Structure 1
Amino acid sequence: MSSVALQIAPHIAFYGDDFTGATDALGTATRAGLRTLLFLSVPDEARMHRVGELDCVGIAGAARSMSPEEMRAELAPVSRWFESLGASVLHYKCCSTFDSAPEVGSIGVAVDVLRPAVSQHWVAVVGGQPELRRYCVFGNLFAAAGHGGEVQRIDRHPTMSRHPVTPMYEADLRQHLALQGLDGLRSLAYPAYAEGAEAVHTSIEAMVSERASGVLFDVARQEDLATLGEALSLSCRFGQSMLVVGPSSVLQAFASQHATPIATLSRVAPAQGSVLVLAGSLSPVTAKQVAAATSYEKVWLDPVALAAAEPAHLDTVAAQLCGLLAAGHNVLACTASPATGVDAGLSARALAHAGGALLARVLGATPVRRVGVAGGDTSSHAVQALDAWGLSYIAALSSGAPLCRVHSDEPTLDGIELMLKGGQMGDDDVFERLVHGTR
């Protein structure tokens, strides 16, 4: 065992396949009572010694938007580092909607690269995150359509079935993941939890003995997670380690066995100074949030010009945003207007990269202490463009929209309060809460 593993000995290590998901996992683990820190890349040993002892450690990445070749290059050093930590649970944190495809963000590729880091040969896949109204029932995934919206089967979901990069055409996660190379998955349906953790563990052992490559676990109710966590923990006895794929409910399941939840949730104080939000999400949920953001000067960015990432154009837009911020305005910069939207042929990845470059320019020129970014890909590339090395959790602005503290060796960035949220996450007034705080 390496000196890093001896020093922090975390029980859980996770990789978030985009930055919004990674910060959701960070918040989930922290609220569950686990001492948790999220790194923005694999840290060196000196950094690990400086941060001290942790129960849970994460890496924020962008694998969700990558090709298989890019994913292998991204995840190979993560796999080696996770193996050196000696954690008993390695969690590949994907979105609770499981949107992925063989050619983009393949969960099968992630499992192939990360599996050598653990001792168990089979993979656990946890479907559903009830607190976000995402449910897996008899192997099929369901999700609410926006805040308070109707729960729909994922292949009929008004947004996820038409996702611009990874549309969900299949609700049965066994079939969906088989297309990505994860064939041979068996399914454990949620009624089995009523029999208790020992019985569930016995069922798991039987499936594995029959050469199942993995087991897909339904999650229909919040109370299912404690039983599931206990059953899976039995598979980690005697120094065994395992790979678990799924949303932040994975952390809820295991934390129920190893930590005491924080009794009270922290409130978010009103912002000190101007707030900047970059909205790169095209979802109807984010569109409602933008419409409800009455405390901001809204700047409608030209997505085609922005995606071209010409330095002169980025400098011009950054100067416009900096001028508004310096004048005391809160600024909401959007990559699509209600009237024009975004050309379907425009590269979402190029737009996200350019958004990150724009954010870095603004924060490098103007002191802003509270920032929000909407959109999974936009958040990933925006934070990667900053000279920061980690994030810690402050509080929740709403479900799926945590507020985090930026850790950086650069004084102008260190301590910035940052909200990252996916397109489907957050209440309608989440941008207003970023300005005015929570009650």
Structure 2
Amino acid sequence: MLLGCIGDDFTGSSDLANTLAKGGMRVVQYCGVPHGPCDPQVEAGVVALKSRTIPVADAVAKSLQALDWLVAEGCRQFLFKYCSTFDSTPDGNIGPVIDALMHRLGAAATIVCPAFPATGRSIYQGHLFVKDRLLSESGMENHPLTPMTDADLRRWLAPQTRQGVGHVAAETVFSGAEAIRAGIAREAEAGRPVVVVDAIRDEDLLAIGAAVRDLALVTGGSGIALGLPANFLDRETLAGRKTAWCGDGGLAAILSGSCSTMTRAQVERYRADHPALEIDADRLLAGDETPAEVADWAASAASKAAPLIYSSADPERVKAAQQRHGKERVAAAVEGFFAETARLLTEAGVTRLVVAGGETSGAVVEGLGLEALQIGPEIAPGVPALKASDRPLWLTLKSGNFGTETFFAEALAVLKRRPE
């Protein structure tokens, strides 16, 4: 294995795997830390963890366990992948995990770059934008678990890390890889080894990729992976993706737990002419709505059209439910519901699942006990089709704001696609 990746959720990890596969690497996404060695033909391994919002100590421990496995597999470089909207809190996990990985690897410097221009995420003067809005004005300030109320990544990251936070500005990035490399070195020498790097175009990410070829650790969103395969291609031939995609036309269902603006629009579009059922947190916690009842309804509806099961309420409703029952209790109940519902649906014969939301996707993957995922064609920027390696199950895991309003129908079509 050449490149070892650690993702803090399952949707972002599939996004990363998709980017690397398009870059020519043979990629497998592992659902948690594998128990044995990998296939020797794998060039990039993505260990997907559900560590974004767990306690800091647990996130660090899981990330180091993943790192140790990747080191044992012979990886030459390592990537810590988090969300392109930097989902975190001032006392969150990104900084502590970066510190722990750097210490374990003996890394003198690393970069922080969650930019992904293809999905509207860019960094300018250290500030993260979603299209033309600062992150803190994009709707992410209302996230139920990780409200992003400050777009300045330097300011947001500083309380999380024991190290100084530096910056390589856009004017340096525009000058190319050598200038970026020198800028990172200057920041590290000045005591700021965790370096936020601006990027507003794919060309910037390609230049950054070339600049970090000798860094042991790189951190960022999946966009940072655009420039990494070329570094290995310089040294040897990459096998790339050789297996043709073959989908399945069996029963399907959609599970949506994201409260993002785009996912709510996708829900509204799909439920206008398809069977849909909204899950209410109050009813769920009272025991008035159970996975068994919902799965029975969905399995029956699936014979006619893929049903949608969603808890994608507007942020104010979610906030009100959290105030009544507690944030952690609501999150655990919703995630547990979707995990069990997915398990029951697959037992009932559903072979295609579309899952929206990072925490929901993690819960579903863990609930199904999936071990590894094969990477298929891209459905939307950052969202590939996936095939379980150990069973007849085709799925996609979508981050909240990814895709267009018609994403659900598009995803079902790709998961069904057969070879031409």
Q: TM-score, normalised by structure 1?
A: 0.85
Query: Which residue of 190, 203, 211 maps to 1:210?
Result: 190
Q: Check whether the contact 1:307–1:354 (CA below 8 A) recurs between aligned residues.
A: no
Q: Which moved more, 1:109-118 or 1:30-39?
A: 109-118
How far off is 1:74 after superposition? 2.3
**Partner deviation per Cα, 1:57-82 (whole Å, 9 max, x = no partner):** 01111111212132133223113223
Q: Check whether the contact 1:300–1:335 (CA below 8 A) recurs between aligned residues.
A: yes
Structure 2 segments unaligned to the other structure (5+ residues): none
Tell me: CA distance 1:312–1:137, structure 2 relative to 1, closer, same or farther (3 Å). Answer: closer
- Counterpart of 2:42 in structure 1 is 54
In the alignment, structure 1 residue 298 sits paired with structure 2 residue 249:
no
**Partner deviation per Cα, 1:104-127 (whole Å, 9 max, x = no partner):** 4x2012113322342323221114
Tell me how far apart the structure 2 counterparts of residues 160 and 246 of structure 1 sit (CA, whole Å): 18
- Counterpart of 2:346 in structure 1 is 363
Q: Check whether the contact 1:374–1:421 (CA below 8 A) recurs between aligned residues.
A: yes
Amino acid at match of 1:98: F
Q: Check whether the contact 2:256–2:356 (CA below 8 A) recurs between aligned residues.
A: yes
**Partner deviation per Cα, 1:146-204 (whole Å, 9 max, x = no partner):** xxxxx2011222x1112111111211111100121254111001211343322332232
- Counterpart of 2:222 in structure 1 is 248
Amino acid at match of 1:153: L
Q: Which moved more, 1:79-88 or 1:169-178?
A: 79-88
- Counterpart of 1:399 in structure 2 is 381
Tell me how far apart the structure 2 counterparts of residues 204 and 167 of structure 1 sit (CA, whole Å): 29
Query: Which residue of 109, 112, 122 maps to 2:99?
Result: 112
How far off is 1:336 after superposition? 4.3
Tell me: CA distance 1:67–1:377, structure 2 relative to 1, closer, same or farther (3 Å). Answer: same
- Counterpart of 1:137 in structure 2 is 124
Q: Check whether the contact 1:13–1:58 (CA below 8 A) recurs between aligned residues.
A: yes
Tell me how far apart the structure 1 counterparts of residues 254 and 266 of structure 2 sit (CA, whole Å): 11
Tell me how far apart the structure 1 counterparts of residues 70 and 241 of structure 2 sit (CA, whole Å): 31
Amino acid at match of 1:122: A
Tell me how far apart the structure 1 counterparts of residues 2 and 292 of structure 2 sit (CA, whole Å): 45
How far off is 1:314 after superposition? 2.3
Structure 1 segments unaligned to the other structure (5+ residues): 1-9, 145-150, 237-241, 409-413
Q: Give the alignment of 1:94-243 within 5 angstroms.
A: 94-104=82-92, 106-144=93-131, 151-157=132-138, 159-181=139-161, 183-233=163-213, 235-236=214-215, 242-243=216-217
Amino acid at match of 1:97: T
- Counterpart of 2:256 in structure 1 is 279
Tell me: CA distance 1:184–1:338, structure 2 relative to 1, closer, same or farther (3 Å). Answer: closer
Q: Check whether the contact 1:67–1:103 (CA below 8 A) recurs between aligned residues.
A: no
Q: Check whether the contact 1:31–1:262 (CA below 8 A) recurs between aligned residues.
A: no
Tell me how far apart the structure 2 counterparts of residues 244 and 405 of structure 1 sit (CA, whole Å): 28
**Partner deviation per Cα, 1:364-410 (whole Å, 9 max, x = no partner):** 2x1122111111101011111112210111111112322111122xx
How far off is 1:329 after superposition? 2.9
Amino acid at match of 1:60: A
Query: Which residue of 255, 258, 280 maps to 2:232?
Result: 258
Amino acid at match of 1:155: S
Q: How large is the RMSD of aligned CA atoms in angstroms?
A: 2.8
Tell me how far apart the structure 1 counterparts of residues 314 and 127 of structure 2 sit (CA, whole Å): 34
Helix, strand or coil at the partner of 2:368: coil
Tell me how far apart the structure 1 counterparts of residues 275 and 257 of structure 2 sit (CA, whole Å): 16
Q: Which moved more, 1:72-81 or 1:248-257?
A: 72-81
**Partner deviation per Cα, 1:47-98 (whole Å, 9 max, x = no partner):** 52xx232211011111112121321332231132233233232111111011
Tell me how far apart the structure 1 counterparts of residues 107 and 188 of structure 2 sit (CA, whole Å): 10
- Counterpart of 2:56 in structure 1 is 68
Tell me: CA distance 1:220–1:143, structure 2 relative to 1, closer, same or farther (3 Å). Answer: same
Tell me how far apart the structure 2 counterparts of residues 215 and 349 of structure 1 sit (CA, whole Å): 34
In the alignment, structure 1 residue 389 sits paired with structure 2 residue 376:
no
How far off is 1:416 after superposition? 1.2
Q: Check whether the contact 2:205–2:223 (CA below 8 A) recurs between aligned residues.
A: yes
- Counterpart of 2:412 in structure 1 is 435
Tell me: CA distance 1:127–1:324, structure 2 relative to 1, closer, same or farther (3 Å). Answer: closer
Query: Which residue of 13, 28, 49 maps to 1:37?
Result: 28
- Counterpart of 1:18 in structure 2 is 9
Q: Check whether the contact 2:264–2:312 (CA below 8 A) recurs between aligned residues.
A: no
Q: TM-score, normalised by structure 2?
A: 0.88
Q: Give the alignment of 1:285-434 within 5 angstroms.
A: 285-293=262-270, 296-307=274-285, 313-325=290-302, 327-336=303-312, 341-342=317-318, 343-345=320-322, 347-364=330-347, 366-408=348-390, 414-434=391-411
Q: Check whether the contact 1:32–1:262 (CA below 8 A) recurs between aligned residues.
A: no
Helix, strand or coil at the partner of 1:393: strand
Tell me how far apart the structure 2 counterparts of residues 95 and 68 of structure 1 sit (CA, whole Å): 17
How far off is 1:268 after superposition? 8.1
Q: How many matched pairs? A: 405
Helix, strand or coil at the partner of 2:52: helix
